[in-house]
Amino acid sequence: MSTFSWQRAVIKIGSALIAPDGRQCSGRYLLPIAQFINASREAGKEIILVSSGSVAAGRAKIPVNHVASIAEKQAMAAIGQIDMMANWQRFFDFPCAQVLLTSDDLHDRTRYVNIKNTIRELLNHQALPIVNENDTVAVKELKVGDNDNLAAYTALVAGADTLIICSDIDGLYSADPRKNPDATLIPEVEHITPDIYAIAGGAGTSVGTGGMRTKIEAADKCTRSGIQTLIVNGRNGSVFDALQEGQIPGTLFKAQQSHTTARRLWLEHTLKTRGKINVDDGAKSALVNKGASLLPSGIVEVSGHFKPGDAVEIECNGQTLAKGIALYGAKELRQIKGAKSSQINNILGYDSGEEVVHRDDLVLLKPAG
């Protein structure tokens, strides 16, 4: 069995675990998962949950004897979301924090930065973020659509190094184990090829290994961005003991490159810069020698028109030092440049944090030539 290590993980819990009879949330399979979350946090690791269950939890309260309409399902989700959260909270003595997202939120630069900041802040305050799709507002074209892909996006926005998808199946099998007794569990997938998709079943169906397609899609998104992905059977409590010992009791999809390398390449080569921030020598030294974030006090000049979430170049005396994601727009930065972080609120009337570019969102560039 392979071993693995991680520091920040997204754990995705499907309806089969939280609402096994499809009608209400249950704690039946959650205790070993909650113990794993507790033990991991005590070991200094960070966890974000992505949990289904709101529609199932609300179903018992909106009885329909036909196939539920979209609006009925949205109403079920609105009623059930609170039960789903409460179902988790009873396992923990730290706060669970509700984060509801749609596809639109993840594709809008400003909202993306807000989500990222909120998750970062929740983790800083030892809360457990619990993410679900915002079913109330999301109809088909606004939805991510399934919580496997939502978990992948969450892992990306949260800067996680690992995604653990907990399902009611042991992992990816060489064939559908319900139909083929010779099917074997695949412990490790080096690259997600078309063959892997073929094993998982065709698009839009839940044949193959039962909803495996969206899990492979999630693994594909994550592993390409340096996030290792696991599919494990969350109904089997011993899985979480094994995980705690650094073993992989399911299928591991290996990250295609290290998380840091993937992030660095993305920041350096994929993101288009929208402006420049000129900094003084003090800020330069803090960025280059101390691994610090960029604060407003070190900013001398701002050029270009950029919004929060846009990439910018950071320069000092005409030399490009770094590239990073600005957490304030150009207009706001022109107002707060040179100011202390504690003055941001007085100047702008709000405060999006003391950093202008957070260290996690910054890559130092080698001097040209």
Closer residue to ligand GLU in complex, CB, 52/162? 52
Q: What is the dihedral of CA 116, 117, 119, 121, to 10 degrees?
A: 160
Q: Considering only the stretches 131-139, 184-192, 223-231, 306-314, report the one whose residues sit in contact with ligand GLU under the rule CB under 6 A.
A: 131-139
Query: 328 with 308: CB under 8 angstroms?
Result: yes
Residue 12 is labelled as binding a ligand: yes
In whole angstroms, give the CA distance from residue 174 to residue 67.
34
The SS3 call for residue 178 is: coil
Residue 54 interacts with ligand GLU (CB under 6 A): yes or no: yes
Residue 214 is labelled as binding a ligand: yes
Residue 52 interacts with ligand GLU (CB under 6 A): yes or no: yes
Residue 154 interacts with ligand GLU (CB under 6 A): yes or no: no
Closer residue to ligand GLU in complex, CB, 132/162? 132
Residue 14 interacts with ligand GLU (CB under 6 A): yes or no: yes
Residue 53 interacts with ligand GLU (CB under 6 A): yes or no: yes
Q: Give start and end residues of each alpha helix (H) in the chain.
A: 15-18, 30-42, 54-59, 70-89, 103-107, 109-124, 147-157, 194-200, 212-224, 238-244, 259-265, 281-290, 330-336, 344-348
Residue in 40, 74, 102, 132 binding ligand GLU, rule: CB under 6 A: 132
- Applying CB under 6 A, the site for ligand GLU has a residue count of 13
Q: Is 63 exposed, middle or buried (0-12, 13-18, 19+ CB in 10 A)?
A: exposed
The 55-94 contact track toward ligand GLU, x by CB under 6 A, reads xx--------------------x-----------------
Query: 212 with 192: CB under 8 angstroms?
Result: no
Residue 101 interacts with ligand GLU (CB under 6 A): yes or no: no
The number of CA neighbours under 13 Å toward the Cβ of 207 is: 11
Q: Indicate the annotated binding residues for ATP.
A: 12, 167-168, 209-215
Q: Indicate the annotated binding residues for substrate.
A: 52, 135, 147
Q: Indicate the annotated binding residues.
A: 12, 52, 135, 147, 167-168, 209-215
| Interacting residues toward ligand GLU by CB under 6 A | 14-15, 52-56, 77, 132-133, 135, 146-147
